[in-house]
Amino acid sequence: MKGKKEAVLFDLDGTLWDSSQEVLLCWNRVLSPLGRHITEEELSRLMGLTPREIGDVQFPDLPPAERYALTDRCLDAEAPYLFERGAHLYPKVRETLRQLNRRYFIGLVSNCTEEYAQAFFHAHGLTSLFDDHETAGRTGLDKGENIALLLARNDIQRAVYVGDTAKDLAAAQAAQIPFLFASWGFGAPPTGQLSLTSFSELVEAVTSMMGV
């Protein structure tokens, strides 16, 4: 929102929601006719990766062009399903975002496709609580670059990034902003980073970090 100079930016998977069961269903609908299958454990390794990284990890036996095409087919299957049904929002996400939005600019920066992000916003009625967002699917940039892009175009002076993996920490460091670790997500706590045990702790943590 215009006029807000302090921002709270969020990763999506493992931070705001857990869509693993829904995504697992969508992927296996694509893969089963091909004699392939993905397990929940395998899927967990893919959370937070870019589409190209997903293809390299999950389909290393295929030539690059085929692995990326198959990855795209799987990813394309997710958004229509999630757009209508949504996934598991973590406790207190809506209420906490509403509180934060009164004071701070709220943004989403994810390595997902643009359609996946729109499915998240639509299915849970959260569009109005986010001032801007950016995705790897839209820009082709890595997460650190997308954080920097979003901050620059909104003239944000101070920000914190909330995520659940070491890659999220690296992205925040690349963009030169502080990081808050979501311990309820998919990653292990980075050494020396402030960890949150519940989403509702964000208001106090962000207020303390921003000093306002």
Range of the domain at 34: 20-85
Q: Is 1 within the bounds of a domain?
A: no
Q: Give yes or no: residues 42 and 61 share one domain.
A: yes
Give the pLDDT of residue 50.
83
pLDDT value of position 108 = 98
Q: What would the two tokens of residue 18 be?
A: 């857990």
**Average pLDDT estimate for 12-29:** 96
Examine the domain organization and report whether 130 and 146 are in the same domain.
yes
Residues 79 and 124 in one domain: no
Q: How confident is the model at residue 2 (pLDDT cuts 50, 70, 90)?
A: low
User: In this model, does residue 92 exceed pLDDT 70?
Assistant: yes
Indicate the pTM of the whole model: 0.92
Question: How high does pLDDT run on average in the chain?
Answer: 94
Same domain, 55 and 76: yes
CATH number of the domain encompassing residue 172:
3.40.50.1000
**146 and 65 together in one domain:** no
Are 11 and 31 found together in one domain? Answer: no
Listed in sequence order, the DSSP H helices in the chain are: 20-31, 40-46, 51-58, 64-85, 93-101, 114-123, 136-139, 143-153, 166-174, 202-210
- How far is Cα of residue 93 from the mean position of the Cα atoms in its chain? 14
Least confident of 48-62, 107-121, 136-150, 188-202: 188-202
The residue out of 55, 85, 115 marking a domain boundary is 85
Q: pLDDT (tens digit, 9 = 90+) per residue, 45-90?
A: 888 788 899 999 999 999 999 999 999 999 999 999 999 999 999 9
Give the mean model confidence (pLDDT) for residues 100-110: 97
**Looking at the structure, do residues 99 and 202 belong to the same domain, yes or no?**
yes
Write down the pLDDT at residue 31.
Answer: 98
The proportion of the chain whose per-residue pLDDT surpasses 70, expressed as a percent, equals 99
The answer to whether residues 35 and 61 belong to one domain is yes
User: Which range (3-7, 14-18, 80-84, 192-196) has the least confidence?
Assistant: 192-196
190: confidence class by pLDDT, cuts 50, 70, 90: confident
Same domain? For 56 and 160 the reply is no
Q: Which has the higher per-residue pLDDT, 195 or 90?
A: 90
According to the model, what pLDDT value does residue 49 have? 84
71, 104, 184, 195 from 124: Cα distances, Å? 26, 21, 20, 26
